[in-house]
Structure 1
């Protein structure tokens, strides 16, 4: 039996109105299997242009939209935690406000959740802001065992692509702030608490790569978030002591190498899903 599902999106002042409109339209009106509800969390004040885009999206939506406003910016984890509580359905699909869902996305993912999985992601195509050119492809690990192994080194899911059961998210403790790593922290805890997981290798989301995308992956703030994450993973027993040391050394170094090297390393080890040593 098919189940209805909700689409969960969060917007904040940094989102572009045109990008948001494309993200919303592609994930609602253009889907061969559309959501039954949209939960749209407005995380703090936004520009008049974005406010107008939100109002326009709500007006043209063929499904009910729950527009939840947060007075002051709470951050992504806080916004999604509030939005998840407003979902009328146990199956929830995530989408960011500047990416694009391909038409068959939910028709491919939701049946896997109905069939027994708790969390399903997909591959992604990376495209440029300026001309829409495809510049990369992320191919995730697909099977439970390989996802669990890879998760000890890197986030095995791309957050904008996931569909999950709300009950499985809640069982793992829900969204929790953790620097810039709240998605990896959630997915690791879901795996750790027994969630049944999978990925579709097929790219069903187009991920916008703006200027400075790789620069933002480095620096002191990212290093601090990285260290906080690795300590948290070790604390709950998700990683071994050897894995912790490896991750701090390898992933920590990645935060401080020059941007061109960081870009090449990302494409070789992450975007292509290459093998790594899972000590």
Structure 2
């Protein structure tokens, strides 16, 4: 890549059978209407899909010949292993993540690429995300994350400081850090902890909502229960064992989040809205 040139980029998305076809269509459209377009769209079909989802995908393939690279998993492998496959086959060094039911504003990738052009030492760039219910006019909260590398590193000891679907990162940086692994619910935190805390991958978060993430009335309910609390504790204890969290960080972050998981849903929602956002 020529220094200070806007790089080409790939989009990376994973889809599984429970996705809503209309949401998937909107999500793909949002990346095909960027002010700077991708020249590759990697879509991982994580197990067999419904006929409705297949129709949406085929429509976009026909309308954009040569753009899509489809990876088909014979069975559902989960997000981490699916994205791991996608990272490996990307033809471009820069990759923009996108979830299959959300929306990127038209200037999302342009703003990230402009930052990359002006700051070539950075290898991962994220942003804020706006959380909405039903339609994008109904934004219920803004998920904010720290801006600069030292702030991000400090934040990462207790919570993930990079919002997964907002990121644009270098393929080589992801692979150098060990790529995605099968860590259900924490594929992003697992990878980004290694990238930021172990491999010192230079990271920046644009302090704007370039991404709209879909939530629902049961969003907070899904983040509750004894089983979810157990997953939280196992993952964060492992972070402590690896040296990514101090014991104090684990007590505050791990035990604290596990406690929130077993709160009544109304109180858990209040905590997310008033404290974590």
Q: TM-score range by the shorter chain?
A: over 0.9
* Pair 1:137-2:142 in alignment: yes
What is the CA–CA distance in structure 2 between the aligned matches of 1:204 and 1:63, rounded to whole Å? 27
Please give the secondary structure, in 1, of the residue aligned with 2:257.
helix
Match 1:254 to one of 239, 252, 260: 260
Q: Is 1:16 aligned to 2:20, yes or no? A: yes
What secondary structure is seen at the aligned counterpart in 2 of 1:205?
strand
Greater CA drift, 239-248 or 30-39: 239-248
Which residue, out of 18, 21, 25, partners 2:29? 25
Gaps of 5+ in 2: none
Matched, 1:164 2:157: no
Q: Name the counterpart of 2:181.
A: 176
In structure 2, distance between residues paired with 1:50 and 1:138: 29
Conservation of the 8 A alpha-carbon contact between 1:178 and 1:225: no
- Work out whether residues 180 and 222 of structure 1, in 8 Å CA contact, stay in contact via their aligned partners in 2: no
Cα distance in 2 for residues equivalent to 1:67 and 1:245 = 43
CA distance in 1, matches of 2:122, 2:26: 29
Q: Distance in 2 between matches of 1:63 and 1:231?
A: 45
Shift of 1:63: 5.9
What is the CA distance between 1:127 and its match in structure 2? Answer: 1.4
The Cα RMSD (Å) is 1.5
TM-score by length of 1: 0.93
Q: How does the TM-score come out when normalised to structure 2?
A: 0.93
> What secondary structure does 1:97 align onto?
coil
- Aligned residue number for residue 248 of structure 2: 242
Relative to 1, partners in 2 of residues 1:63 and 1:270: Cα closer, same or farther, differing over 3 Å? farther
2:196–2:202 contact (8 Å) kept in structure 1? yes
Q: Which of 71, 93, 98 is the equivalent residue of 2:96?
A: 93
SS in structure 1 of the partner of residue 11 of structure 2: strand
User: What is the rounded CA distance, in whole Å, between the counterparts of 1:220 and 1:76 in structure 2?
Assistant: 22
Deviations 1:29-60 (A, max 9, x none): x1001111000000001111011011112122
**Structure 1: distance between partners of 2:141 and 2:80:** 27
SS in 2 for 1:224: helix
Q: In structure 2, what is the Cα distance between the partners aligned to 1:61 and 1:9?
A: 16
Partner SS, residue 185 of structure 2: coil
